[in-house]
């Protein structure tokens, strides 16, 4: 479980040791805030023992993650990793490819994730949300919103978006969410990676026996069959879609519900004007970034940045939350403000590996939060905010439970 440190450290010892204590209620970790102000290219020791350079300024992240002098080929066994045999060991998935291979593989699935394309999932999210809220109404009050809503909704929606055949729904429920600790050691990390790989292989085998479907996995299977992408690229990318489509959206739905309950003055205008839900979701995505540090890029040659030499072979990681809290770009970043003008784009990364699911995450989050608070405008925490059980040692940092209560008989 996590410790939170509300006060910024004075002069921490370097390298910093990852994972970092979180900021209060998921605010930017104080060590990241310190690095952003004082050490923009900051050495960090990872749980694996690897040393990496951490970037925390929005402009640096945008520049370095788009710089061809850095590579994303992480599937070499010697590559430095944050924790053990993590998902970056899966060969030739989108995460681990450089252009032009990366461009070729991404183009097979990108059409399913445009803003227009994901619009068709709104009804799906809304109808599963309503089912879960009905079940919540019939169950105990208070209840745990993570168990009853945020993690189940992800599962019900994503199994349809990604086309998990019905015979494997139980498997899908068992494997996801996948929240093993990044400090648990290489064996546990490797076991989890293997479990998700085995699940992906079962889905692919089952989908090959079934009629073709017009969805991301269907497109990957067709592209592998006609030789546009290799079998390995198809597998690695399917694996990645299952992985990123799981905990990655449980986390903002949970933190989003939390922050709106903690800030009734921000929730009120959104309830009064439902047209504000996309902006509220955007502000949740800006305010929290549930993956504190993303996966690294590796320098192909020596690169100078802020007087530091990033040597060829060194790994560089970024805090996307630092980018969306960068005071050079965002006024009062610590203020949660549903009407702010700055967007959350930087939460989804930069450069060629910019998040494929950004529009889906936005639509999902706005729809899921709206359904929740329209059903229960009186929703509030059933514990003191300092007793919310955050974990900072999982890849998608979030409260692992969120006890909530509501007034019975509030309008639907
Ligand atoms: C709020 C939720 C999400 C956040 C904050 C998020 C954030 C990110 C970030 C920062 C990256 C870049 C990582 C890097 O540079 O390595 C990324 C990549 C990616 N995301 Fe997301 N993501 C979210 C939801 C999703 C969803 C729902 C999906 C789809 C199922 C998805 C699919 C992907 C994929 C496939 C990549 C790799 C793209 C590539 O390598 O070209 N993400 N995401």
Q: What ligand 1 atom has the least distance to the C-alpha of 95? A: 40
Nearest CA to ligand 1 atom 25: 357
Residue 48 has a pLDDT of 87
Check: pTM over 0.75? Answer yes or no: yes
Residue 376 contacts residue 141 (beta carbons within 8 Å): no
Q: Where are the domains of the chain?
A: 16-405
Q: What's the confidence (pLDDT) of residue 212?
A: 95
Place domain 16-405 in its CATH homologous superfamily. Cytochrome P450 (1.10.630.10)
Listed range (83-87, 96-100, 214-218, 247-251) with the worst mean pLDDT: 83-87
In this structure, the residues whose C-beta lies within 6 A of any atom of ligand 1 are: 94-95, 106, 240-241, 244-245, 248-249, 252, 285, 289, 294-295, 320, 347-349, 353, 355-357, 360-361
Find the range with the poorest average confidence among 28-37, 73-82, 141-150, 205-214.
Answer: 73-82
What does the pLDDT average to over 100-115?
A: 97
CA distance 250 to 241: 14
Segment 202-214 mean pLDDT: 97
The confidence score (pLDDT) of residue 193 equals: 83
- Mutational test site, ligand 1, from 163, 244, 364, max ligand atoms within 8 Å of CB: 244
- Which residues, including other chains, have CB under 8 Å from residue 315's CB and lie 6 or more apart? 50, 51, 52, 53, 79, 80, 296, 297, 298, 299
Q: Which residue has the CA at smallest separation from atom 36 of ligand 1? A: 355
Distance CA 379, CA 165 (A): 35
What is the mean pLDDT of the segment spanning 104-114? 97
- 257: pLDDT strictly greater than 50: yes
Instruction: Please determine, for residue 5, whether its predicted confidence score (pLDDT) is greater than 60.
Output: no
Please report the pLDDT score of residue 147 as a whole number. 94
pLDDT score at 112: 97
Give the percent of the chain with pLDDT over 90: 76
Question: Token match 């990852």: residue?
Answer: 18
The dihedral sign for the CA sequence 256, 261, 266, 270: positive
Q: Residue 249 CA: which ligand 1 atom is closest?
A: 2
How does residue 4 score in pLDDT terms, banded at 50, 70 and 90?
Answer: very low
| Residue 109 Cα to ligand 1 middle (Å) | 13
Q: How far is the CA of 356 from the centre of ligand 1 (A)?
A: 6
Q: Given ligand 1 and candidates 355, 364, 365, 367, which is best to mutate, with the most ligand atoms within 8 Å of its CB?
A: 355
Q: Contact at 8 Å (CB) between 135 and 215? A: no
Q: Calculate mean pLDDT across residues 367-392.
A: 95
Residues of the chain above pLDDT 70, percent: 94
């Amino acid at each position: 479980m996590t410790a939170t440190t509300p006060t910024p450290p004075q002069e921490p010892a370097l390298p910093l040791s990852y994972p970092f204590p979180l900021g209060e209620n998921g605010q930017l970790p104080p060590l990241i805030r310190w690095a952003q102000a004082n050490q923009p290219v900051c050495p960090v020791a990872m749980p694996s023992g690897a040393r990496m350079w951490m970037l925390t300024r929005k402009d640096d992240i945008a520049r370095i993650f788009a710089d061809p002098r850095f590579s994303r080929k992480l599937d070499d066994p010697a590559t430095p990793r944050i924790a053990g045999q993590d998902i970056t060991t899966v060969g030739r998935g989108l995460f681990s490819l450089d252009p032009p291979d990366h461009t070729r593989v991404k183009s097979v699935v990108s059409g399913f994730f445009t803003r227009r394309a994901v619009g068709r999932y709104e009804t799906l999210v809304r109808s599963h949300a309503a089912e879960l809220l009905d079940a919540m109404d019939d169950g105990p009050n208070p209840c745990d919103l993570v168990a009853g809503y945020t993690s189940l909704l992800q599962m019900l929606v994503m199994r349809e978006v990604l086309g998990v055949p019905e015979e494997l729904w139980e498997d899908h429920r068992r494997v996801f969410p996948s929240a093993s600790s990044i400090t648990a050691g290489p064996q546990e990390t490797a076991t989890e990676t293997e479990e998700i790989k085995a699940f992906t292989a079962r889905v692919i085998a089952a989908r090959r026996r079934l009629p073709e479907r017009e969805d991301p996995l269907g497109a990957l299977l067709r592209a592998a069959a006609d030789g546009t992408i290799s079998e390995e690229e198809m597998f690695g990318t399917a694996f990645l879609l299952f992985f990123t489509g799981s905990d990655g959206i449980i986390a903002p739905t949970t933190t989003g519900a939390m922050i709106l309950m903690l800030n009734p003055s921000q929730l009120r205008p959104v309830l009064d004007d439902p047209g504000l839900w996309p902006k509220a979701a955007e502000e949740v995505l800006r305010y929290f970034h549930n993956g504190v540090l993303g996966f690294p890029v590796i320098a192909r040659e020596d690169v100078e940045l802020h007087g530091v030499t990033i040597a060829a072979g060194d790994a560089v990681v970024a805090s996307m939350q630092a980018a969306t809290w960068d005071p050079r770009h965002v006024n009062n970043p610590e203020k949660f403000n549903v009407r702010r003008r700055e967007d959350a784009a930087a939460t989804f990364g930069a450069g060629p590996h910019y998040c494929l699911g950004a529009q889906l995450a936005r639509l999902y989050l706005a729809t899921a939060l709206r359904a929740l608070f329209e059903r229960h405008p009186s929703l509030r925490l059933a514990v003191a905010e300092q007793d919310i059980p955050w974990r900072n040692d999982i890849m998608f940092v979030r409260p692992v439970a969120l006890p909530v209560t509501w007034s019975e008989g509030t309008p639907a």
